[in-house]
Structure 1
Amino acid sequence: MLELREIEIFLVLAEELHFGRTADRLHVTPARVSQAIKKQERVIGTELFKRTSRSVQLTPIGTQLRDGLSQGYRQIQETLAAAVEAGRTFTGELTVGYSAAWCGNLIVAAADLFRTRHPHCVIQFRNSQLDEPLTPMRDGSCDLQLIELPVEEPDMVNGPVLFTEPRALVVPADHPFAARATVSMEDLADAPLISVTDQPGYFLDLHYPHRTPMGRVIPRGPSVTAWQDVLAQVGAGKGVSPTCLRAAHYYSRPDIVYVPFSDAPSVHYGLVWPVTGNTAKVRAFVQTVLEAAAAEAPLPENGSTGH
């Protein structure tokens, strides 16, 4: 039986009628072309080409073989090319979640880029809730999410950190902190801390600690389930709450002020998706988000904002 590569060599030689040009087109040596033709002639039992020092010509059986193989070989090439293209082009839907407006902006930019490469794939967006950020991925209604880190769950894959943001404290507009240029982690002991319900302990320890770096107890304020509830509670004077400084550009209100921390760790944002959903489509979208993040211009980092 003849291999596909040997059939290709025969068909190119039948077109070029020159061993050297055939070798150049196929990036092989003329000896390799000659060996392949000799093998074919042994398998078939007759000459396929008449060779002289001046020319190469097809024999009648060689012509018959060329005519019979050409159409089938073209169909094989077209089928393989279509399969490769299908493998590169994703179809169906991909649902992407995000936890904050600035995360949503990046996801939308990445989705626009992804659609240019995979126009048959529909991107859906989902804004996650503070109290259940991983539930949509666990119930299958969301494929991946751009979220505040850390996420230390055995059923989730952590992608790369996409960007980091300086941390700020949201305070009531009439609070003494509102007039300051910065606050420190120690200042958290002097105001009730509004936190989010139903978050894992490792997340609360980082974002809503119970003690300051010097060990002072941080008093607890109300615990809420949605970001707008955080802002409402702060605006009503019920306490303060940490966030990233960029929130001031998206969620400004007359009754709150965003005061930068002078010593708090930055907030890291990254992509997370289920272990069971670690598909080629998801990985391709992750790569697209990385490209979009690299091209995104950062927002200016102001001081106190919100009056």
Structure 2
Amino acid sequence: MTEPLLTAPPEATRPVRLGIHGAPHLASGIITAAGHDPQDVEFVPYDVAEPFRPLREHTADIMIVKYALREADIALSRPVAFDGRALIVAADHPLADRATVSVEEAARYDAFSCPGDFPPYVWDEVVPPRTPAGTPVRRVHPMTTVEGMVGILSTTRAVHLSFRSLEAILPPHIRAVPVHDLPPAPVTLAWLRDAPLHPKAAALVADAERGAERSTR
């Protein structure tokens, strides 16, 4: 592990509380690859506008994050998975029927702005302010909930540069089109740096790191 874990006294009867946003199947895959039973983990949904609140209020033991964090009170595992990039659009959008799409094409349409207390430096990875060719990305629509995003996508020509994992929870009238010129996002597990960690959560982090290493050999 990249950082030492402070282990709390055993709490054998309580499941690991894992913070997630969006579809749970990415988390389930990480748990299974770690050799753990998903039934032993309780998913704790977090608000994208306050992503670290469950950790800081001790209602989650660990959480799934993407890209590198620079939060002083939060420690990170090594990457435990990768999540491919996708453009989320309405089914009648001009890009909806494409097999793949370029971020340069996506930049022709309005995108979503950084929500609430979400770290802007991470949002710049999720929805880049400019494409590799230098085209500005118009980040104008408010990002609130998945339902709110779907409502905007359904009534406008807006697009959301997001992740393939989101596809599992999209309604039929919304599509996820793979983006071929943005690299997959590294997925890590995060926990409070100076707080004792539930022993099952510590084991899950360590086993998830080992599972990711095995998958790349």
Does the TM-score normalized on the shorter chain lie above 0.5? yes
Match of residue 207 from structure 2: 288
Match of residue 18 from structure 2: 96
- CA offsets 1:113-148 (integer angstroms, 9 cap, x no match): 3799xxxxx754311121111111112221111222
Count, aligned residues: 203
Identity, % of aligned positions: 25
Does 2:153 correspond to 1:234? yes
User: CA distance change for structure 1 residues 184 and 114 in 2, over 3 Å: closer, same or farther?
Assistant: closer
User: CA distance change for structure 1 residues 108 and 262 in 2, over 3 Å: closer, same or farther?
Assistant: closer
Counterpart of 2:183 in 1: which secondary structure? Answer: coil
Measure how far apart 1:294 and its partner are.
7.2
Match of residue 206 from structure 1: 125
Counterpart of 2:158 in 1: which secondary structure? Answer: coil
C-alpha distance in structure 2 between counterparts of 1:177 and 1:200, whole Å: 29
C-alpha distance in structure 2 between counterparts of 1:166 and 1:96, whole Å: 21
Counterpart of 2:54 in 1: which secondary structure? Answer: helix
User: Equivalent of 2:195, from 266, 277, 285?
Assistant: 277
C-alpha distance in structure 2 between counterparts of 1:268 and 1:228, whole Å: 25
Identify, as 1 or 2, the structure richer in helix: 1
Is 2:109–2:157's contact at 8 Å kept on the other side of the alignment?
no
User: CA distance change for structure 1 residues 252 and 225 in 2, over 3 Å: closer, same or farther?
Assistant: closer
Measure how far apart 1:157 and its partner are.
0.5
C-alpha distance in structure 2 between counterparts of 1:163 and 1:111, whole Å: 11
Measure how far apart 1:179 and its partner are.
2.8
C-alpha distance in structure 1 between counterparts of 2:93 and 2:157, whole Å: 11
Measure how far apart 1:177 and its partner are.
1.1
Is 2:19–2:46's contact at 8 Å kept on the other side of the alignment?
yes
TM-score (norm 2): 0.79
Measure how far apart 1:287 and its partner are.
2.0
By relative contact order (CA 8 Å, sep 6+), the higher-ranking structure is 2
User: CA distance change for structure 1 residues 292 and 126 in 2, over 3 Å: closer, same or farther?
Assistant: farther
Is 2:33–2:211's contact at 8 Å kept on the other side of the alignment?
yes
- CA offsets 1:220-247 (integer angstroms, 9 cap, x no match): 3311221222222212225100122233
C-alpha distance in structure 2 between counterparts of 1:113 and 1:219, whole Å: 42
TM-score (norm 1): 0.58
Measure how far apart 1:97 and its partner are.
1.5
Is 1:221–1:239's contact at 8 Å kept on the other side of the alignment?
no
Larger Rg: 1
Match of residue 28 from structure 2: 105
Counterpart of 2:78 in 1: which secondary structure? Answer: strand
Letter in structure 2 aligned against 1:126: V
The runs of 5 or more residues in structure 2 that have no matched partner are 1-6
C-alpha distance in structure 1 between counterparts of 2:26 and 2:99, whole Å: 26
C-alpha distance in structure 1 between counterparts of 2:70 and 2:32, whole Å: 27
User: CA distance change for structure 1 residues 289 and 174 in 2, over 3 Å: closer, same or farther?
Assistant: same
Measure how far apart 1:155 and its partner are.
0.7
Counterpart of 1:95 in 2: which secondary structure? Answer: strand
Is 2:77–2:209's contact at 8 Å kept on the other side of the alignment?
no
The alignment yields a C-alpha RMSD, in angstroms, of 3.0
Give 1:17-56 correspondences, 5 Å limit: none
Letter in structure 1 aligned against 2:204: F
Letter in structure 1 aligned against 2:84: P
Measure how far apart 1:219 and its partner are.
1.6
Counterpart of 2:156 in 1: which secondary structure? Answer: coil
Give 1:142-157 correspondences, 5 Å limit: 142-157=60-75
C-alpha distance in structure 1 between counterparts of 2:20 and 2:164, whole Å: 18
Is 1:143–1:277's contact at 8 Å kept on the other side of the alignment?
no
Match of residue 51 from structure 2: 133
User: Equivalent of 1:257, from 175, 189, 194?
Assistant: 175
